[in-house]
Structures are given as C-alpha cells and as structure tokens.
Structure 1
Amino acid sequence: MALPREAIGIPMVRRVLGDSLRSLHVTETCVSDILLAVSEACGNAVRHGGPANRYQVEAAIGYGRCDVRVIDGGHGQVRLPDRYPSSDVENGRGILIMQAVVDELSFDAAPGRGTTVHLRKRLDLDEEAVPARSRQLASV
C-alpha cells in the first residue's frame, strides 16, 4: 500500500492487515502484537519520513509468519535506544516497543534513500478454529 504521510492512513493499514490475519485464524494476541509494531513503524514514517510525502507498507503472510516492511523516503537515520526513556520524555519508545512484540526487527537506512523497517513475527494459530485450508495458507 502506498499511503500519504499522514496519520489518517494508519487505521487503514491496521484494518487490512488485521482482517487478513484474523481470516487465517491467527490468535488475537499475535494479531495485536503485529498491529502494535506496524502502528509504531507507520507512526515513525509519518513523523520522520520527510521530505517525501508518501510511505509504503508491504506485507506477506505465509510459511507460518508475517513479514511487514514500512518504507519511507526520509533522511535514512535510525537511532536505536538501549533502554526506555524516562517517564517525562514524550518520544523514544517506539523501537523498543517493536522489539518487544515481534520476533525479528531490522532497519535498512541510508541517507537519500530513506528507511525500511522490517518486522517479522511467527504466527500463532487458534488451532480449534482453524479449518484445514486456513492452516495450509498460513504455513505456505
């Protein structure tokens, strides 16, 4: 999806990805973790992805995992915090939150090329609700 660099697009990303995961009977806890991380990555693209006026979200579900890439056209800088900031600081928690809820988090940042945030999480399926066909689609 190509989106304007405005916060209004984030709920659309959450809806499309969340509905896709739920249709495959991914557990609600797993869906929530993925959507939290994607929301943080999209929020960073909206706040820091300039001068470009758009950003992209690419998602792939299969092989028992969900891979999401959030790509912006910003200055290509990522500062990795080593701990949560103090409670009186408003920003700086997003990357740590993403790390806490996904299995793999990586960044490709280059000046003039922008930043790509890659999120990967193994899918936990609700085995009782999963028809055989959905189980096959989630693992292929």
Structure 2
Amino acid sequence: MDIEFSLAMPRDAIGIPMVRRVLGDALRSLGVTEKCVSDILLATSEACTNAVRHGGPANRYEVMATIGSGRCELRVVDCGHGLDTIPKQYPPGDVENGRGILIMRAVVDEISFDITPGRGTTVRLRKELDWDEDAIAHHLTLAGQLAGV
C-alpha cells in the first residue's frame, strides 16, 4: 500500500505547520510511532525552512511524500539559487543558523540533495517506519512482504 501526496506551498513560514499537520496526520493514522513521526516532522520542517529561506526568487516550493513499503520518502523542491556547499559539521554555538542539514541527517536514515545552481534544490529524505504494535498498516506491510508483493 502506497500513499502519495504533494503540497504546493507559498514560500512563507506560515505554510510549514500545514505541511507538518498533513504529513503527521497521515503517518499517525497508519499507526507510525510518535517518536518516528516526530523525527520525520523535524527533518521535514528543516527542509521546508530551507526552501522558505533560500528558495527565492520563486514564490512557491513543493513537498512530495510517499508512504509505503515500510518507509516514508519525502522530496522538498524549491526553485532558488541552490547551496554552494553542504556543511559537514555543526557551526559554532554562537551562530544562529546553519544547523538544519545536520539536524536532518541526525533524524532520518537517508538524505540527499540535487542542487542545480540558479535553478533550485531538491532535498530527499527517507526514513524506515517504526510501527505501533496494533498498527493495521504494519500488518498489511508484513503480509505484503510475506506474499512477495
């Protein structure tokens, strides 16, 4: 069972809670553990914040989600200028910005970037899902794996 959706959001911070609500509700309704949901939402918020901050001159960015096969995959796409480099370590403690990518790396299983200078950035996030014991979606996923689906 795959669930897919995309949201086209204004490049404004006001849309980030809406993305969190839609994605969080979808994951919770399937029975994903709250810890796993929290990790995914944290990484998604960071990716969306980067799209809002760095996605200009475009007025919008897009969030695409696929939930299925025991994992959640997200793409956050903006049409901004792109980053020159990806930070390898946390910035000094007295610096206010610059931790988002490192936070995303800490809470998801895979992260990748497709950066085209002057044309935008796609952030891909992937996390294997942890299920509540009584989650119907987990049982459907296991049954599909046993049946070879």
**Bin of the TM-score, shorter chain as denominator length:** over 0.9
SS of corresponding position for 2:82: coil
8 Å Cα contact 1:24/1:137 also seen in 2: no
1:130 is aligned with what amino acid?
Answer: A
Residues 65-94 of structure 1, C-alpha deviations (whole Å, 9 max, x = no match): 000000000012252212111111011100
Q: Counterpart in 2 of 1:92?
A: 98
How many equivalent residue pairs? 138
TM-score using structure 1 length: 0.93
Structure 2, unaligned runs of 5 or more? 1-6
Q: TM-score, normalised by structure 2?
A: 0.87
d(CA) in 2 for partners of 1:18, 1:65: 14
Q: Secondary structure at the match of 1:121?
A: strand
Secondary structure, aligned partner of 2:114: strand
2:22 matches 1:16: yes
Give the alignment partner of residue 124 of structure 1, picking from 124, 130, 133.
130
Match of 1:136 among 136, 140, 143: 140
Output aligned runs, 1:1-140, within 5 Å.
1-127=7-133, 129-131=134-136, 135-136=139-140
2:123 partner SS: strand
1-structure distance, mates of 2:103, 2:112: 13
Paired residue secondary structure (2:118): coil
CA distance in structure 1 between the partners assigned to 2:104 and 2:119 by the alignment: 22
Q: Deviations over 1:110-134 (max 9, x none)?
A: 023200000000000012x213x55
Instruction: Give 3-state SS (helix, strand or coil) of 2:89's partner.
Output: coil
CA–CA distance in structure 2, aligned partners of residues 103 and 2 of structure 1: 25
SS in 2 for 1:107: strand
Contact persistence 1:71–1:114 (CA under 8 A): yes
Tell me which amino acid in the other structure corresponds to 2:22.
V
Whichever residue aligns with residue 106 of structure 1, its letter is: S
The two structures, once aligned, show a CA RMSD in angstroms of: 1.6
Asked whether the equivalents of residues 24 and 135 of structure 1 are also in contact (C-alpha less than 8 Å), the reply is: no
